[in-house]
Structure 1
């Protein structure tokens, strides 16, 4: 009997029919760019523990990917769903590449866009959209991750200026950035500051020996009596709602991105199983292999449908933050399970950089916990359902 015609996971769930023409075009354009400019090099970047951010940022900017869901100031002004689909295609190549785009657009640029003055927007956003100016987002500290309200970084008034002291850790783009959005305690709650990285007293140290997100620049930032003018402060952000609002934007991209990594793992495992012979027939011809593939395809498809549903809600302006937690919790959790299961199909070959699955699995270890751990999102969802705050 002849083998049946094969289909992709997207075709299994009829995903294409859920997208409009512009969304399909953006997704295909980003997929093509990623295949031609990123995928041939990403294994080498991962092995070397580097990413050519300075080289790639202008290319990403010219493609319209930086701050693409923002409007004006040189930004593309796409829908949130289109931005999510771009994140999916970027993370299908590598989580580190998607992180660079998320930090630039959803964190640093969004902070200025949502909370900055018109002068601040005009000064910084066009260059950041073009990729000629790279930004980073300084919230996490060595001892304050899930509980940023305890941060030690502090800004004090000195006449009309601010004096900034403290440190931040695990900062994507930190050592290559031209500008940092730094969150600090003040006498008037947590406030955000736009800090050019050439300001005296600003130092960055790139972090090495990472086992995850190796194709990404990660740094520790230090602030030693940095003097900032009064207009360095973001005027519309007061309290933790400012940085947490930016994180909600970035988490939205992760919902799409993580499932892109899972899809890439599954595609690699399917292709491998079709050509790898075990006991005189392809690995794909065994029931246990097909059971694994079927189960993973169902979870990838469900994750895609969830992401698209949340994208439609966001575009309609009706996406509550607890649903972002649902998406981040589910899609990162399922993605890392899929990456690990795909590795079992590839056997020993799965631990090499010739195939993407263990690289994705290592990256997803970080994606699972950054911008809100699984446990934090469980508590967000639990509070929404029960009305009880269990964080303390």
Structure 2
């Protein structure tokens, strides 16, 4: 009996029953709550906050974290969920990634027990939303050049600076803000101006988040400019563990992992749409799928999708085994997003003129993936990470 024609390599056989259940459950959620509405969200530039309870109920917020109400699912299950969410829209996967892989991960990895108990249960249920404020107007790929400061004044920290492209900041309840910390009474890491993380309730005076508009990509999502104008925090607002850029980089690795899976999901959705359209659209007396040039496009896309899925699954297995290395995450993020953009653009050509409408997903995916290609490390950054691994030479500066 013929199986799924999109599963060229029978990858279904590589998944456990639990992994298939997670995938199918998230796919059903996307079919019910995302697909019927996402074109309008994208057209109107709206992030659907009423979707958050559904994501929380499905256990998707911090789903790969353990304890504090988090689902504690495997890396592969998390990846499969990200693929299904991004098959719906990159903006929806971005929400789950910012909430879980960045903000919640930062608190879980670097926070105190009190901080974890204060925020993680509420974030897992969607009752609190978080954001992750690392990038600045002049410090994107080079976070070491950040200028945001945190100065110890008596029993308080005072934060000043600007951040840019901060997902969810305008709707967040808490921001994980990275700043250069200085404590006149401390000559150790904080006193030396080392990068530290701080938990900033967004209701704190001096914290202002403004959505960036207009955008041509990730329109069903929120990215913001953030101003920190002498934001005063208690002494215990600092994340106590892992000072330095290793702190945010550990969170970025989690987000990049999810992106590799998400991009594969977006690509598969584009192929699915193109294949169905080619079978239904009749020209010159035959369906488009019967023409050699169309078949060549479909085959090229199917090969790219299969390779992306294999790569995502491989790094997922490595991550579950505790063996995943940063350069491997870079390889998957770089390769899969590149492939997904190519698949989305090719799928649009199969759709002809109808492909530019929001009735079909490929052009929306292509636009979104331009943002995904840029955030959590540009092509250039990941290329240099891989170049360093191959040659042993640092070429960033």
The 5 Å alignment of 1:138-287 reads 138-187=133-182, 188=190, 189-287=194-292
Alignment of 1:1-392 (within 5 A): 7-10=4-7, 12-53=8-49, 55-187=50-182, 188=190, 189-392=194-397
* Structure 1 residue 6: Cα displacement: 7.5
Give the match's secondary structure for 2:209: strand
Q: 8 Å contact 1:73–1:126 — kept in the other structure?
A: yes
Alpha-carbon RMSD:
1.0
Distance across 1 between alignment mates of 2:242 and 2:103: 13
Does the CA-based 8 Å contact 1:138-1:181 persist in structure 2?
Answer: yes
**Paired residue secondary structure (1:13):** coil
Query: How far does residue 213 in structure 1 lie from its aligned partner after superposition?
Result: 0.1
State the secondary structure of the residue aligned to 1:225. strand
Compute the displacement of 1:160 (Å).
Answer: 2.1
How far apart, CA to CA, are the structure 2 residues paired with 1:230 and 1:30? 40
Note the C-alpha offset of 1:5.
Answer: 6.1
Normalised to the residue count of structure 1, the TM-score between the two structures is: 0.97
CA distance in 1, matches of 2:52, 2:165: 20
Deviations 1:187-230 (A, max 9, x none): 32000000000011111111121000000011111111111011
For residue 237 of structure 1, report the CA deviation from its aligned partner.
Answer: 2.7
| Number of equivalent positions | 387
TM-score using structure 2 length? 0.96
> 1:181 & 1:59 partners in 2: Cα distance?
24
Partners of 1:116 and 1:236 within 8 A in 2 = yes
Q: Report if aligned partners of 1:192, 1:237 keep a CA contact under 8 Å in 2.
A: no
